[in-house]
Structure 1
């Protein structure tokens, strides 16, 4: 099957796609880029892919080709020069395939309504101004692995569609419900639904993470890497919790802490049901 070819970085479409490497461009167009065979394959399986560009000196990755054949929407496929792919890459060694993907249009209110009607137990992760893209991507990947129902990214956090975030998720973003919202509003809504709010903090009144329950509707709040959780979230907490430090380090990495909390939550839930 013949594909359209583009070899010039001055091509208008390439200039438009290049804008998606910047947050303003992503927000203006409502689209983002993913790079590499694995992420492109995952996007084809679970998201709305608009365009694929692959290196015209290589064949398209076989797994991506199979996923493309099963993708429900029409996708523009472009055989591009290595110079074009380098223009659209954020990595030192371009991986030979890039996809333009439409941002998720999931509605928070509708999702919450359907989720709370369908199940009594829920586990959410609320992220309070997470700044490091690698941390955010790792948290999302861990949250999916641990069976977290959804993640809320507080305003002021790193862009969800940042390239490094995308690479760190290893495709989890395409399957895990993630919303960007005001955390204080989400917390108030959550508590009005009977949910509990556990806030991770080294506050003097906090207790060890394994001394609280995680039953029914529980939301765990993870704070900014430097400042921790905001005062407004601490004020709304049902429990202040921390992970004990036994060595000389002052604190744990945010992604590691999130992993400890969500797996403890699932352990407690399994123990309660057994």
Structure 2
């Protein structure tokens, strides 16, 4: 595969794509960058709207990426660039030689809720998760656990932040994620019959393995520092907590989310079999 090489960081395409490294640029262009062979392959093989793939002309393209590019055909623009240009478009210390420009495709929350109203589901709601690594890990774990969708409350970190995208390991391309007011979304879901379980250490909180996760279930995880806001906590049908047997005062938000969604799914699967 041979393409004309873009060698200048002043090239208009390169300058436009460079803007996607910050949130303002992503919001204005409604696009984001994915770097690394695995994530580019995941984007190409998923429903993601990949617009452009740029590769270091001095390096071989990963065979799996090359196959995925060929399968996508002419819909994806493929551009050869110099190592200097690729360095301008990447955030990692050791770029893997390939970057993709992907159109942002956040799920429509109202549409998702309407479609889900007639079935059971497990939804994860995140109340101002601010650490990119935490959000990426939560999304990766939620997708692995079979969570049906994730709603990001106002004030949460941008899910298309480069660190978030890398931490998801491709889950972002497969898991419905939407921004919404948590209070409004929770009340709308409760009208559908959803049970809302808020992670909290309140006195009447149930141990996570004692909670009921049947039917339509929403699990709410709070901010890394202050937990779930009082406004959201007041909407809970139940509070759940993860017992701490050592001297630690709390668990990392991503770890807590993982424990809760896997316990919820374990019980849901067992109840379905029985």
Query: TM-score scaled by structure 2?
Result: 0.97
Structure 2 unaligned blocks of 5 or more: none
Preserved contact between residue 141 and residue 172 of structure 1 (Cα < 8 Å): yes
Preserved contact between residue 48 and residue 73 of structure 1 (Cα < 8 Å): no
Q: Aligned to 1:53, what secondary structure does the other structure show? A: strand
CA distance in 2, matches of 1:116, 1:140: 23
CA distance in 2, matches of 1:105, 1:68: 23
Preserved contact between residue 106 and residue 178 of structure 2 (Cα < 8 Å): no
CA distance in 2, matches of 1:236, 1:188: 8
Match of 2:110 in 1: 109
Question: Structure 2 matches for 1:140-219, cutoff 5 A?
Answer: 140-219=139-218
CA distance in 2, matches of 1:138, 1:16: 29
**CA 1:196/1:168 → structure 2, altered by over 3 Å: closer, same or farther?**
same
- What per-residue deviation string (whole Å, max 9, x for no partner) do you get for residues 1-26 of structure 1? 43232011111111110000000000
Preserved contact between residue 4 and residue 77 of structure 1 (Cα < 8 Å): no
Q: Aligned to 1:86, what secondary structure does the other structure show? A: helix
Q: Aligned to 2:257, what secondary structure does the other structure show? A: helix
Q: Aligned to 2:159, what secondary structure does the other structure show? A: coil
Query: TM-score scaled by structure 1?
Result: 0.97
- What per-residue deviation string (whole Å, max 9, x for no partner) do you get for residues 21-52 of structure 1? 00000000000000000000000111110011
- Residue 203 (structure 1) shift: 1.9
CA distance in 2, matches of 1:79, 1:193: 51
CA distance in 1, matches of 2:132, 2:29: 21
Q: Aligned to 2:117, what secondary structure does the other structure show? A: helix
Match of 1:42 in 2: 42
CA distance in 1, matches of 2:95, 2:122: 37
- What per-residue deviation string (whole Å, max 9, x for no partner) do you get for residues 66-113 of structure 1? 111122661111110000011011111111000000001532222222
- Residue 115 (structure 1) shift: 2.4
Question: Structure 2 matches for 1:72-151, cutoff 5 A?
Answer: 74-117=75-118, 119=119, 121-151=120-150
Preserved contact between residue 106 and residue 177 of structure 2 (Cα < 8 Å): no
Comparing 73-82 with 140-149, which one deviates more in the overlay?
73-82
Comparing 59-68 with 123-132, which one deviates more in the overlay?
59-68
CA distance in 2, matches of 1:223, 1:231: 10
Question: Structure 2 matches for 1:50-69, cutoff 5 A?
Answer: 50-69=51-70
CA RMSD of aligned residues (A): 1.1
Aligned residues: 272
Preserved contact between residue 190 and residue 196 of structure 2 (Cα < 8 Å): yes
Q: Aligned to 1:260, what secondary structure does the other structure show? A: helix
Preserved contact between residue 5 and residue 79 of structure 1 (Cα < 8 Å): yes
Comparing 225-234 with 102-111, which one deviates more in the overlay?
102-111
- Residue 60 (structure 1) shift: 1.4
CA distance in 2, matches of 1:72, 1:193: 42
Preserved contact between residue 113 and residue 189 of structure 2 (Cα < 8 Å): no
